[in-house]
Structure 1
Amino acid sequence: MKLSRRSFIQVSAVASVTAFLLSGCKKDPEVLETTKPGEVQPLVEGEWKPSGCLGCTSWCAKQVYIVDGRAIKIKANDESKIHGGNDCPRAHLAVQQVYDADRIKQPMKRTNPKKGRDEDPMFVPISWDEAMDTLADKIMELRTNNETHKFMLLRGRYTNITDLFYSSMPKIIGSPNNISHSSICAEAEKFGPYYTQGYWNYRDYDVQNTKYMICWGVDPLCSNRQVSHYLNVFGELLKKGVKIVTIDPKYSSTAAKSHVWMPVIPGQDGALATAMAHVILAEGLWSREFVGDFTDGNNAFISGKNVKEETFEEIHTHGVVKWWNLELKDRTPEWAEAICGVDAATIRNVAIEFAKAAPYSMVFMGGGSNMQVRGAYNSMAVHALNGLVGCIDHEGGVLTGRSAKLNSLPGPDDFMDEMAKTNSKNKKMDQRGTKQFPALKEGKPGSGVITNRVADAILAEDPYLPKVVIGYFCNFNYSCPGTDRWDKAMSKIEFFAHCVTHYSEMSHFADLLLPSTHHMFEQMASAAQKANSYTHLWITQRLIEPVYDVKNPESEVLWMLAEKLEQRGFSNLLDFCKTVKDPETGSEPTNGLEFELYAYKTLTQSIWDPTKYTELENHGDKFNSWNEFIQKGVWNSDPYKFKGLWSKMKTETTKFEFYSETLKKALQEHADKHNTDVDDILATCKYTGKGEQAFIPHYEPPYMEGKVEQYPFAYIDSKSRLAREGRSANCSWFQEFKDADPGDIKWSDCIKMNPKDAIELGLKDGDKVKVTSPTGEIVTTLKLWEGLRPGTVQKNYGQGHWAMGHVAAEDFEKKLSRGGNSNVIIPADYERLSGATAYYGSFRVKIERA
């Protein structure tokens, strides 16, 4: 039968009854009758089984309560040393997700060849066999025509075996195009730490031993990494007298628990950071142990005056005097006050208190300060404060963490034929490495991803037009700024297969829908993360039988596709898959589930196999067998060893670089590639800095779309407390508890404004308003909230779906969204040195009654 959007709703309505029954459990009526108000009803007899959550990049270890084969409850896995006790609320929504009647229940194919938001795809159910035949035929067409580079794989969330599907499969087919979501997540946040200390990753923060904590452009009690951990320890910090400061233009959940709130003007973080650095040096409060000192012991960092470099002897840092002379000497708090909106006295007091508490202090940096058009140098300036006071790699400070001890999975090289070797050298679709997009990941020009640029590349057919695309756990038509670009781009794709749990805005443009397992319950999965000076790796088995006819993209779909390609004479991918053998028996996999199991056993063998243990330090938890490891469900590293990186950093000088020789080398390499100079590269990337400024943390005025005369309000895009990366809006719990975000409305959407601004516009609380940016408009409800600095408006990301399901949408059949999607009005711009999408401090809007 054909399944239109209308019949899809009707089928879902019937299935919702089944889902309710599936999610139920046996209850004792007598227990229900005798339970008194306020008492906790005892759980029905079941079993807690280890699992983990990929609902955000906290990647917490969890346990799931299973009763009669059904998942009914989730809690933290107490075996993890990086969090415990209470849980982040996001994880609990996973129970609704897995039993959601709006999930894609079996493979489906498009029967309407026209693509567009207003087109009904007219999906019809098909078998997995037919679906994989179709996909294999499309790939073989590319090989027949020597066009394998026109295959593209788009990745959202993933697990530890991602390399098999994401990295190796495209290369074996013969394509360079594996494009991840990373640059719409946090790449600018990683830029500063890399080009000062050589670390391109998320940091750990030893909050339990700190004395002073600055949360800058981050809300750890609501979003970012290890929310569960920070929810558990924040109360202890306050009891111990830890001073907490939040720098954010909105009064966030963390700001509400802070001693000081510094409502910086959006985009002006660099002015505030350089002013604080000025104070620390001018007041003589830098770390002598880490940075060094003047040879005569007298502080020559005097406002407005240059310092002779030879008079200062550095120890574990490089270029502090150059930084002062080139940038900091004139960056007084009084200079910054008029620019960043924070009074000079507060800037000075916070900088002094922070430095005096050091090295047991930290600046906890998030994306708010740097995922801006000119955010790379903000990232460096904010992180450099940690270097000045010596809290890098120090107890109570900022740590790098460590990677879990994992084995490598087989690589693709031995399975790439001549066509694959040749075509995989073509340019990637995201235009990384072009003059205007350096994407300087880990010091290598063109090595970073520029996810949101793919839509423009498709539309321009530059470097070419992909023909066959697979996407998994991604919804770029919703999650990337400039959503209309993605709608137009995906309409041009000849064949698109989408592997997801739920129908989504991106699914609407698919030719094949391949229903996916839910990572927490229906498949084997693992992920590693750091916090509390530890790293953990959690692992889970299939805890319940899949609710619908769904498959794991990274293992089962890969295996089935490999089999279909072999039947068509291309055995390379299946031969590759068969090299993933059971490390205990040496057996080759014979199906997708065995392939999945053997991949995880191989990957984690150095954790669970005593014969593979070494005498090296930091092995962490030890197990006697695979079964023992899988039953416990989590591995913990040894405790962090402090100061191990001092003068051993992965920078050009091996030291913490205030004058970044590492960035200088990378920028020069990119400039040489394009036959120009560094000044031209910076100008092309919309920066104003010139000369030696290019290599130091420095103030850049924010690049804002929209003139203030026409668009008077700076727009603040924020994370929701319950948003599982934009995928939880079809959960009724998400909608019912939406007001957990201060000022938000249950089962609705809103934009918040300071009451002073509303009075001037003649608007009142509850008005329907039109929000217009230079690139788009949405309609939503106005809420008045004093937790915003005047001149700004703020909206939480997560609503505005028109295709996620009948709960997420106001009217799923008519494609009417519940409120507005922020990405409709966010301009598609970038922090080009890192490749990150610009979400913050980058555009203005006007508000008027709808």
Structure 2
Amino acid sequence: MKLRRRDFLKATAAVSTVAMVGCGVPKNNALAPMDPKKAIGEDPGKWISTTCQGCTTWDPIQVFVQDGRAVKVRGNPNSKANCGTCCPRAHMGLQQLYDPDRVKVPMKRTNPEKGRGIDPKFVPITWDEALNTIADKMMELRNNGEAHKYMLNRGRYTYMRDMIYDAMTKIYGSPNNISHSALCAEAEKSGAFYTHGYWDYRDYDLTRTKYLLIWGLDPLVSNRQVPFSIKVFGDVLDKATVTVVDPKLNASAAKAHNWLPVLPGTDGALAVAIAHVLLTEDLWHKPFVGDFKNSVNQFKTGVTLDESVFEEKYTNGIIKWWNIELKDKTPEWAEQECGISAEVIYKTAREMAAAAPSICIWMGPGAAMQVRGTYTAMAIESLCGLLGNLDNIGGTMMKGKTHVNKMPKLDDYKDEVAKIKHKYKIDQRGYLQFPALNSGKSGGGVVTNNLADGILQKNPMEIKMGIGYMNNFAFSGTGAQRWEEAMSGLEFYVHITTNASEMTQFADIVLPSAITTFEKWGYLKSKGNLHSQVSLLQPVVEPLFDVRTDETEIPFLIAEKLAERGFDKLLRYYKEQIIDPETGKGASNAKEFAEIAVKYYTAPSWDGKKDFPGDKIKGWEAFKDAGVWNDARLEYKKSWGKFKTVTKKFEFYSETLKKALKGHADKHNVSIDKVLDVCNYEARGEMAFVPHYEAPFRYGSFEEYPFTFIDHKSRLNKEGRSANTPWYQEFKKVDLGDESWDDVLKINPDDAAGLGIKNGDMVRITSTNGSFTIKAKFWEGLRPGTVTKCYGQGHWAYGRVAALDYKNAKPRGFNNNELMPCDYDRISGSTARNGGFCGVKIEKV
């Protein structure tokens, strides 16, 4: 970011003011005065390796620590995935670490009434009292035969999640460990899995690509691999064609060669029309797909073909796909559906073919996280099959191999209560209306946002107690009002958090968490630049406050309290199974456990016992210093012929999805068509098994709600936890069209003129789910008929900077998730928050 001196001075002043308000300046605050006899930077310091968790890039970074303070951040030069770079999120971590609004000690609620704007009347308590209260409640449920009425909610995590999410929940005896995953992803994984058997995020060979197609995301701002994308994007623009498909002009589109402002939710129409051109013009990648047996192209618009005329190589069902979906899906047809001219569609398809197979197709949540998102994701992913770019030079890549230990088995530590089989979890995954087909298994995924309804309905069970960490579902789930209702009625909730977020306002016990990156132990697995990696989080400074690590220390402390009450299985598991690979000993206390657990898991990356491709790190201390282990560069074409699909091929006709849907249908004794009907898909019969276009499902008629609302992401949202930092608010204007210290609704000037709205006017925006007043901001980079707002503002809790009036629960702007209704892409379980599903009306106040 290039900042003017005036902006920097304003931010500095804002930082100083907020840091001094109320709580004063913490002892080790990076902003506090140093020794007046020495200049800043004069004292010796040290760069310490750790990992930024600002987004799912999980960026290896280093923090410069001077006189016990974290004062500067940079990318870790040892990482081959980010090449020593980081994005603005990593730098904002410094203000999060030294935020005076952090929760500093355990607290308990003294006001039994719960709800927005109701003062919980928290009072400080000791860790001992907090842990005793939690253990008493857990044992009460267990002794009453109600262990299954306990739940664990996980937000963002490190891979130490196993200790609290799996081990603690399952040994205790509850099926209800619920992750956040479906709030931010899953549908884009679903598209890849049902075409080529890969349930994960993709990597991209950006340094060798000849064509980059960015679809429904902005890799310079969000998604995965942000720092590396920023680093190489200029080079990509110089040597490759860049095309962005998005209804709004994002940062990538502003620099791209082509911007295709598709009508929200119609991405699938554009994808299948491109596929139609590739086939009718003989442009598919024959070394991957195959060819007609007589080598004469027979794909003609409207013509049905016999399957026997084509000989496929690494793909399955191209003729079925053509007959069922593609033969009539011309660019002229698509123009009427998606708003992109037929001429541009032809041009795009031909340019892509000319660059193939060195083409990256980077699909993100904007295209997939919609009510019928799995089929849109499949349609876009199918272009990878046609162009042969999967695991190919300059193409869309899978991932390499990381070497870590698995969680030790739990079986020997489960008693009769823990061994009870429960058919369903509280999020209702696996219900008829919620297939959640993670990796093809009915109920194998998660339906995070439906947890609120499960609690309210007490279906399939009543929930009497919950523990949540690094989560704020009352803010991050669409139809957020449901969460407030569910949490208000919950009998007992424990929130482990750095700041008093919206979720915290409903808690009975609040436990202060060590902040990720700076104060906690953990490790992460990620990928980028064709390298997979294991990266370390380690404490770089001593904690400022009386905090504990959420995933290791706190469950260990709870296990000790449970053991005091006669239930020692969890504590024995931690002590007997999580062993220090250097000493062969288990932990004697929680603090030891936090480090030993990380050593146990990451040992294969640094102990030298096995030889595998990648870095050669000699010992734990060397790993702490390096901060990251890199796999060797991913080899090309390794997946060809070995896709994890039913046919082992890239499936244009998805036998994998057919098997998964049949398994779910058989489970409920219904037909596949019935499943599709209940789950609100248009497909029936054979159409259900091929990538195809489904019209966007929309809340609100165009007559009453003529505009379509688009939610988009900020380059400053540090996993939603940065809004209480002055830097976030001051530099909010780096999100295109946004303003500092404000929340704005961006509208095309032509649309505004039709409504008599001037730039800066206050307007009321109304959906079927809510109505809010906000300032209108003219933004030309937006398709007419749509309005957009960046996600991240609208906190009514969290702190004195995030909220406009924290004491009175008054937000700065409004939360997009209170405007958008709750719905899902039910095949994957993903929350719908894109794809034109939210109609709105705009009125001048």
TM-score range (shorter-chain normalised) is over 0.9
In the alignment, is residue 740 of structure 1 matched against residue 737 of structure 2?
no
- Structure 2 distance, partners of 1:202, 1:643, is 17
Q: Which residue of the partner structure matches residue 185 of structure 2?
A: 186
- Structure 2 distance, partners of 1:269, 1:303, is 21
- Structure 2 distance, partners of 1:769, 1:806, is 25
Q: Secondary structure at the match of 1:290?
A: helix
Q: Which residue of the partner structure matches residue 427 of structure 1?
A: 424
Q: Is the 8 A contact 2:29 2:69 kept in 1?
A: no
Shift of 1:44: 5.0
In the alignment, is residue 489 of structure 1 matched against residue 486 of structure 2?
yes
**Residues 508-657 of structure 1 aligned to structure 2 (within 5 Å):** 508-578=505-575, 579-610=577-608, 612-614=609-611, 616=612, 619-657=613-651
Deviation readout 1:260-312 (Å, 9 max, x if unpaired): 00000000001000000000001101111000000000000111111111110
Q: Is the 8 A contact 1:291 1:390 kept in 2?
A: yes
Deviation readout 1:298-355 (Å, 9 max, x if unpaired): 0001111111111100000000111001000000000000110100000110111101
Q: Which residue of the partner structure matches residue 407 of structure 2?
A: 409
Deviation readout 1:158-200 (Å, 9 max, x if unpaired): 1121111111111111000000000001100100100010000
Shift of 1:725: 2.0
- Structure 2 distance, partners of 1:28, 1:613, is 52
Q: Which residue of the partner structure matches residue 714 of structure 2?
A: 720
Quick one: which of 329, 332, 345 aligns to 2:330? 332
Deviation readout 1:792-812 (Å, 9 max, x if unpaired): 000000000010100011111
- Structure 1 distance, partners of 2:266, 2:174, is 41
Q: Secondary structure at the match of 2:452?
A: helix
Q: Which residue of the partner structure matches residue 153 of structure 2?
A: 154
Structure 1: unaligned runs, 5 residues or longer: 1-8, 33-41
Counterparts in 2 of 1:10 and 1:206: CA distance versus 1, 3 Å? closer
- Structure 2 distance, partners of 1:124, 1:403, is 48
Q: Which residue of the partner structure matches residue 833 of structure 1?
A: 827
In the alignment, is residue 846 of structure 1 matched against residue 845 of structure 2?
no
Quick one: which of 500, 505, 510 aligns to 2:502? 505
Deviation readout 1:759-810 (Å, 9 max, x if unpaired): 0000011111111100112221100111001000000000000101000111
Q: Which residue of the partner structure matches residue 700 of structure 2?
A: 706
Counterparts in 2 of 1:10 and 1:625: CA distance versus 1, 3 Å? closer
The aligned amino acid for 1:845 is V
Q: Is the 8 A contact 2:19 2:99 kept in 1?
A: no
Q: Is the 8 A contact 2:436 2:443 kept in 1?
A: yes
**TM-score normalized by the length of structure 2:** 0.96
Q: Secondary structure at the match of 2:385?
A: helix
- Structure 2 distance, partners of 1:234, 1:307, is 42
- Structure 1 distance, partners of 2:50, 2:606, is 17
Q: Which residue of the partner structure matches residue 314 of structure 2?
A: 316
- Structure 1 distance, partners of 2:503, 2:696, is 32
Q: Is the 8 A contact 1:25 1:68 kept in 2?
A: no
Counterparts in 2 of 1:753 and 1:11: CA distance versus 1, 3 Å? closer
Aligned length: 827
Which 10-residue stretch deviates more, 709-718 or 78-87?
78-87
- Structure 1 distance, partners of 2:444, 2:560, is 32
Q: Which residue of the partner structure matches residue 5 of structure 1?
A: none
Shift of 1:13: 3.3
Shift of 1:11: 12
- Structure 1 distance, partners of 2:368, 2:86, is 28
**Residues 156-555 of structure 1 aligned to structure 2 (within 5 Å):** 156-239=155-238, 241-422=239-420, 425-555=422-552
The aligned amino acid for 1:699 is Y
Q: What RMSD over aligned residues (CA atoms) do the two structures have, in Å?
A: 1.5
Q: Is the 8 A contact 2:424 2:430 kept in 1?
A: no
Deviation readout 1:375-434 (Å, 9 max, x if unpaired): 110000001101101001101001111242111122322111001111x52520000011
Quick one: which of 15, 36, 47 aligns to 2:23? 15
Q: Secondary structure at the match of 1:385?
A: helix
Counterparts in 2 of 1:288 and 1:21: CA distance versus 1, 3 Å? closer
Q: Which residue of the partner structure matches residue 82 of structure 2?
A: 83
The aligned amino acid for 2:737 is G
Percent of residue pairs bearing the same amino acid type: 51
- Structure 2 distance, partners of 1:362, 1:818, is 39
The aligned amino acid for 2:318 is V
Deviation readout 1:498-535 (Å, 9 max, x if unpaired): 00100011100000000000111111122121111101
The aligned amino acid for 2:287 is E
- Structure 2 distance, partners of 1:385, 1:28, is 63
Q: Which residue of the partner structure matches residue 795 of structure 2?
A: 801
Structure 2: unaligned runs, 5 residues or longer: 1-16
Shift of 1:555: 0.8
Q: Which residue of the partner structure matches residue 9 of structure 2?
A: none
Shift of 1:28: 7.3
Shift of 1:24: 3.3
Deviation readout 1:660-683 (Å, 9 max, x if unpaired): 000000001111111111111111
- Structure 2 distance, partners of 1:551, 1:770, is 43
The aligned amino acid for 1:18 is P
- Structure 1 distance, partners of 2:134, 2:400, is 39
- Structure 1 distance, partners of 2:479, 2:724, is 23
The aligned amino acid for 1:566 is A
Q: Which residue of the partner structure matches residue 38 of structure 1?
A: none
Shift of 1:31: 6.2
- Structure 1 distance, partners of 2:449, 2:519, is 30
Q: Secondary structure at the match of 1:347?
A: helix
- Structure 1 distance, partners of 2:521, 2:664, is 41
Q: Is the 8 A contact 2:19 2:25 kept in 1?
A: no
The aligned amino acid for 2:416 is E
Q: Which residue of the partner structure matches residue 6 of structure 1?
A: none
**TM-score normalized by the length of structure 1:** 0.96
- Structure 2 distance, partners of 1:721, 1:584, is 41
In the alignment, is residue 24 of structure 1 matched against residue 32 of structure 2?
yes
Counterparts in 2 of 1:267 and 1:21: CA distance versus 1, 3 Å? closer
Q: Which residue of the partner structure matches residue 813 of structure 1?
A: 807
- Structure 2 distance, partners of 1:435, 1:305, is 37
